[in-house]
Amino acid sequence: MKPRANAPIHPRKSGRPSRKDAELLSAHIVTCAARLFMRDGYAGVAVENVAVTAGVGKNTIYRRYASKSDLFQAVVDHQIRKLLPPPNELAENSDLATGLRRVAVSLVEAALNPETTALQRLIIAEAERFPEISAICLERAYQPAIAIARTVLERTAPPGTAPTLMDFAAEQFVAGVAYGPHLHALLGHRALGSGEDLSRYVERVLSLFLAGWQAVSGSA
């Protein structure tokens, strides 16, 4: 029998595991899965590989994630939770510029994260063969980023601002902030090498966006 790569995070106990132990085990499985996906690609990873690496049985994984795509979705969700604060946290007690600045910094830092880059390269390379992973990326990563920006706009927009305008503006804000740094990272070029570079970049994008948003929405 092939030895397992990693032991479980806790020795197996008799009886039903506590909620905390179950959550820790789920996090351990997701961490192991993320490492394998980033190293071997989506096609190159089977649930059996994750089970061996995590030091658990296949059934332990299938009780939590019904398929490999569900497991991949859990990996993406974990990355989003780790890198992007909840929308209310970014928008709370802030004016429009301050709220959008917080969002922009979070998005750029997320775009430059090496794990984000690895996952995006995987998705780009294999999305045509496995369309479910591109759907996961759009639904669980791209749309939440837009929702965060929209939350800030909605809290500060003048009464009567059309929801469709806020939707479009939020999408353009996310694209304007994250696309350039993200593309450079995908190509192996870290354009924003320091905190000062990041701050200058964010301020330039924010200034341009606010000028356009104020012109079309009538906000001050």
CATH of the domain at 188: 1.10.357.10
Asked whether residue 32 is assigned to any structural domain, the reply reads yes
Q: Band the pLDDT of 3: cuts 50, 70, 90.
A: very low
Q: Would the pLDDT of 37 be above 70? A: yes
Asked whether residue 71 is assigned to any structural domain, the reply reads no
Residues 97 and 172 reside in one and the same domain: yes
Residues 58 and 83 reside in one and the same domain: no
The alpha-carbon radius of gyration of the chain (Å, integer) is 20
Give percent of the chain above pLDDT 70: 90
Asked whether residue 9 is assigned to any structural domain, the reply reads no
Residues 179 and 154 reside in one and the same domain: yes
Residues 38 and 146 reside in one and the same domain: no
Q: Band the pLDDT of 11: cuts 50, 70, 90.
A: very low
37 with 130: CB under 8 angstroms? no
Residues 41 and 92 reside in one and the same domain: no
Q: Would the pLDDT of 131 be above 60? A: yes
Domain residues for the domain of 130 are 76-217
Pairwise CA distance, residues 33 & 45, whole Å: 8
Residues 58 and 105 reside in one and the same domain: no
Least confidently predicted of 46-55, 85-94, 176-185? 85-94
Structure-token pair, residue 73: 């979705």
Pairs from 115-121 (Cβ < 8 Å, separation ≥ 24): 115/34, 115/38, 115/79, 116/79, 116/83, 116/182, 116/185, 117/182, 117/185, 117/186, 118/38, 119/34, 119/37, 119/38, 119/75, 119/76, 119/79, 120/182, 120/186, 121/186
Residues 44 and 99 reside in one and the same domain: no
Asked whether residue 2 is assigned to any structural domain, the reply reads no
Count the domains in the chain: 2
Residues 61 and 135 reside in one and the same domain: no
Q: Band the pLDDT of 189: cuts 50, 70, 90.
A: confident
107 with 179: CB under 8 angstroms? no
Q: What phi-psi label fits residue 113: left (phi over 0), alpha (psi between -120 and 50 degrees) or beta?
A: beta
Of 141, 148, 147, nearest to 72 by C-alpha is 141
Mean pLDDT rounded to a whole number for the chain: 89
Residues 57 and 146 reside in one and the same domain: no
Q: Would the pLDDT of 34 be above 70? A: yes
Residues 80 and 134 reside in one and the same domain: yes
CATH of the domain at 47: 1.10.10.60
Burial label for 208, CB within 10 Å (0-12, 13-18, 19+), is exposed
Mark which of 5, 32, 66 sits at the end of a domain.
66
181 with 108: CB under 8 angstroms? yes
Residues 54 and 134 reside in one and the same domain: no
Asked whether residue 107 is assigned to any structural domain, the reply reads yes
84 with 106: CB under 8 angstroms? yes
Asked whether residue 1 is assigned to any structural domain, the reply reads no
pLDDT of residue 220: 58
Residues 140 and 54 reside in one and the same domain: no
Asked whether residue 137 is assigned to any structural domain, the reply reads yes
Asked whether residue 7 is assigned to any structural domain, the reply reads no
